[in-house]
Amino acid sequence: MTLVLRQVTRRVSGAEIVREKVLPTDTARIGRGADCEIRLPDLAVSLHHATLATTGPGRVSVVSAGREPFGVDGRFVTQADIDVGRAPRLTFGDHILTLSHGDGGRILINLAAAEPAEGDSSSGVPAGGVIPKARIFGRRRIAWTLGLGIVALCLIWPLAAFHGHLNARIDPDQQWSTGPLSSAHAFLEDDCQSCHQEAFVAVTDASCKTCHAGDQTPAAMAAAATSVRRAGSPDTLSFVRDHAPRGRILWGTPPPAGFTGQATAWFRRAFNLPEQRCASCHVEHVANPVAGRPPEPIPTLTPTQTCIQCHTGLTHRLKDTDLADAPSWARHPNFRPALPGPAGLTRVSLDSRPREASGLTFPHDLHLSPGGGPARMAQTLGGRGYGAALTCNNCHRPDADQKGFAPVQMERDCASCHSLSFATPGGVRQLPHGEPGQVVAALMAWQGRGPVAGGGTTRRRPGEIGEGGPGVGVSPAGASAVNTVGGAFGPRGACFDCHTIFRTPILRFTPVRLPGDFLSRGAFDHSVREHRVDRLGQPSCAQCHAAATSGSATDLLLPSVSECVECHGQTTARSETPAPADCETCHSFHAPSHPTPRPPRPNFSARPRPAAAVQTTP
């Protein structure tokens, strides 16, 4: 049997070159060595790897020379007896020997190098150049992964939570928070929807008023306070009222001035960010305007307008307002006390020198005169808070918070001198005060038992019955009860001293109308030391209230605003007691009749105010 070696090589163009060689013997050595008949230039093949020999017609045996195996149709063996008719494939390293029958009983040994896999080669350098980069983290793939991941995690997930499609424990929309809340609202940090209730709609006042409305019933307020405390609020819930209805505030606000103002207004309209909401001034998600400090206790206050900006020309913008313009402290309108008039309380400017119509007869000068009768009576009264000439505080008592005065009460503040006692056979009785009908009834019950009418206007100390005088004089014998009643209400009677009484023909009193608060739209704090006493520590009531020279109860003893200007808005050079002239001193935004709470909110004046807000008298 003749062995024929057919060596197949491949051109670059792909064409095959076949070289045939008839082997001299029936036995052929296979290996890398130069002496081998079938030479395989492959370092994976031993120098003498195996020997191929014909063993019969169409049969060959292949035996390894050493221990290195070779492949026969995919199996690795060291010895094989092979039927050439089955066209076996022998592999040695990267070389393949394919056996087949040739013409004339020859055995053809086809030798070819194994086709390298795409991009692979025997060396570390692949056919295409260098080993390609790992493509798992290609730029495009990372970009898409990151981009879509961020959209999914930072936009779609929170949106789904906002629309209530998720009921997760974590709040994905918290990542949208632009900054921490003030400590009062910190308990709402993970509940964005408590304020942001509707998408693309700026936080509405309704959200704020859910808790803070000051015009709800006390029960509702208590319930709101309880619910926020339960939710974890560290603060006492504050209730506030609107400065004015929002529509009126919007109309009363001056149009934006300057390019920035107009641009801001345009922007706010274009982006549906209405002005004059709670959130316009009370800014959240700022924590603290000064970086690095702990959060403010309440939302940062950022007034969008100063008081003066709106209250200048307000009468032009709000034609029906009863407020006067206050363009500056120097041009603050004079006080307009609420005085009783035919149509109820009417505000009248002090400039028009209004008269008080309390319905009483009360000369302040007489009472305060150090040499007058009241003074002598007070000296006589001695140690019941009297003992010297009368002063203001003998009759006017501070109210509970010392800021104002309690209404004058006849029994408490006048009756020490203006006694309502009268003698009866059964002893000294007190006439009821305030209800004329009751007085009449009491007198009728004791008719004839003691006169009420007295002579003269000389006051007697109460209790000293029988010495004559009003209420205790000796009754003419047989005087009827009617006469007695008539005496009491008559021109020299006890009531007539202070009250104006008509007989038309029935007895009629001029109604007594003592305003609780003349100036209900601002706040004057009598407890401030400079408001109470002078430099020497003496009461300084007379500085503002010209009571000592007032001979009539119709004198309105209120000082005009020029009195305030003596100190407020003055410098130390011009006043011994200079005081600020901020609007907040007497008014607060949410409760204009009260001063802004002092000390002011910690962040109230975080930044210096524009000078326009603090104008002083030139």
Q: Is 189 in the site for another protein (CB under 8 A)?
A: no
For 70, the 3-state DSSP assignment is: strand
For 221, counting Cβ atoms within 10 Å of its Cβ (0-12 exposed, 13-18 middle, 19+ buried), the class is middle
Please identify, using beta-carbon distances, which residue of 141 and 598 lies nearer to another protein: 141
Least CB distance from residue 134 to another protein, whole Å? 5
Four-point Cα dihedral 460, 462, 466, 472, nearest 10: 80
Q: What does the alpha-carbon distance between residue 67 and residue 31 come to, in Å, rounded to a whole number?
A: 13
CA distances to 334, 337, 512, 592 from 346, rounded to whole Å, are 15, 8, 16, 18
Other beta carbons within 10 angstroms of residue 472's beta carbon come to 24
The single-letter code of the amino acid at 569 is: G
Please identify, using beta-carbon distances, which residue of 232 and 261 lies nearer to another protein: 261
Least CB distance from residue 184 to another protein, whole Å? 16
Angle between helices 218-231 and 205-212 (to 10 degrees): 100
Q: Can you say how many angstroms the Cα of residue 460 is from the centroid of all Cα atoms in its chain? A: 63
Least CB distance from residue 122 to another protein, whole Å? 6
CB 538 within 8 A of CB 532: no
CB 189 within 8 A of CB 181: yes
Q: What does the alpha-carbon distance between residue 523 and residue 517 come to, in Å, rounded to a whole number?
A: 10
CA distances to 285, 391, 395, 461, 466 from 379, rounded to whole Å, are 66, 12, 15, 11, 21
Judged by CB under 8 A, which of 173, 275, 356, 584 binds another protein? Answer: 173
CB 456 within 8 A of CB 380: no
Which among 587, 585, 604, 589 has a CA at the least distance from the CA of 298?
604
* Tokens representing residue 357 in the block: 């119509």
Q: Is 199 in the site for another protein (CB under 8 A)?
A: yes
Q: Which residues contact 73 (CB under 8 A, 6 or more apart)?
A: 88, 89
User: Which stretch, 172-180, 232-240, 422-430, 593-601, contacts another protein (CB under 8 A)?
Assistant: 172-180
Judged by CB under 8 A, which of 14, 74, 129, 463 binds another protein? Answer: 129
Q: Is 146 in the site for another protein (CB under 8 A)?
A: yes
Judged by CB under 8 A, which of 183, 194, 253, 302 binds another protein? Answer: 302
Cross-strand partners of 21: 5
User: Which stretch, 196-204, 389-397, 543-551, 578-586, contacts another protein (CB under 8 A)?
Assistant: 196-204
Instruction: Mark residues 41-80: x for contact with another protein by CB under 8 A, - for none.
Output: x-xx-xx------------------x-x------------
Judged by CB under 8 A, which of 110, 177, 447, 615 binds another protein? Answer: 177
User: Which stretch, 21-29, 205-213, 543-551, 603-611, contacts another protein (CB under 8 A)?
Assistant: 603-611
Which among 185, 187, 164, 189 has a CA at the least distance from the CA of 176?
189
Least CB distance from residue 207 to another protein, whole Å? 12
Interface residues for another protein in 311-350 (CB under 8 A)?
A: none
Please identify, using beta-carbon distances, which residue of 196 and 429 lies nearer to another protein: 196
Cross-strand partners of 71: 76, 91
Q: What does the alpha-carbon distance between residue 549 and residue 584 come to, in Å, rounded to a whole number?
A: 33
Least CB distance from residue 10 to another protein, whole Å? 16
Judged by CB under 8 A, which of 25, 55, 79, 175 binds another protein? Answer: 175
Interface residues for another protein in 434-473 (CB under 8 A)?
A: none
Interface residues for another protein in 531-550 (CB under 8 A)?
A: none
Q: How many residues at the interface with another protein, by CB under 8 A?
A: 70
Q: Is 270 in the site for another protein (CB under 8 A)?
A: no
Q: Is 255 in the site for another protein (CB under 8 A)?
A: no
Least CB distance from residue 41 to another protein, whole Å? 6
CB 30 within 8 A of CB 40: yes
Q: Is 144 in the site for another protein (CB under 8 A)?
A: yes
Please identify, using beta-carbon distances, which residue of 296 and 356 lies nearer to another protein: 296
Q: Is 210 in the site for another protein (CB under 8 A)?
A: no
Please identify, using beta-carbon distances, which residue of 305 and 570 lies nearer to another protein: 305
Q: Is 32 in the site for another protein (CB under 8 A)?
A: yes
Quick check: bond before 398 cis, omega within 30?
no
Q: Please report how many Cα atoms fall inside a 13 Å half-sphere around the Cα of residue 451, on the Cβ side.
A: 21
Least CB distance from residue 172 to another protein, whole Å? 10
User: Which stretch, 21-29, 30-38, 409-417, 558-566, contacts another protein (CB under 8 A)?
Assistant: 30-38
Q: Is 148 in the site for another protein (CB under 8 A)?
A: yes
Which among 282, 366, 388, 326 has a CA at the least distance from the CA of 521?
326
Which among 506, 509, 474, 516 has a CA at the least distance from the CA of 495?
509
Please identify, using beta-carbon distances, which residue of 32 and 459 lies nearer to another protein: 32
Judged by CB under 8 A, which of 114, 150, 222, 444 binds another protein? Answer: 150
Judged by CB under 8 A, which of 147, 387, 476, 539 binds another protein? Answer: 147
CA distances to 48, 184, 216, 217, 601 from 239, rounded to whole Å, are 103, 14, 9, 11, 15
Other beta carbons within 10 angstroms of residue 538's beta carbon come to 10
Interface residues for another protein in 411-440 (CB under 8 A)?
A: none
Least CB distance from residue 144 to another protein, whole Å? 7
Q: Is 262 in the site for another protein (CB under 8 A)?
A: no
Four-point Cα dihedral 446, 447, 453, 459, nearest 10: -10
Q: Is 142 in the site for another protein (CB under 8 A)?
A: yes
Q: Is 206 in the site for another protein (CB under 8 A)?
A: no
Judged by CB under 8 A, which of 8, 176, 408, 499 binds another protein? Answer: 176
Provide the binding-site residues for another protein, judged by CB under 8 A. Answer: 32-34, 41, 43-44, 46-47, 66, 68, 122-125, 129-134, 137, 139, 142-151, 154-155, 158-159, 162, 173-180, 192, 196, 199-203, 260, 263-264, 267, 271-273, 283, 286, 289-291, 300-302, 603, 606-607
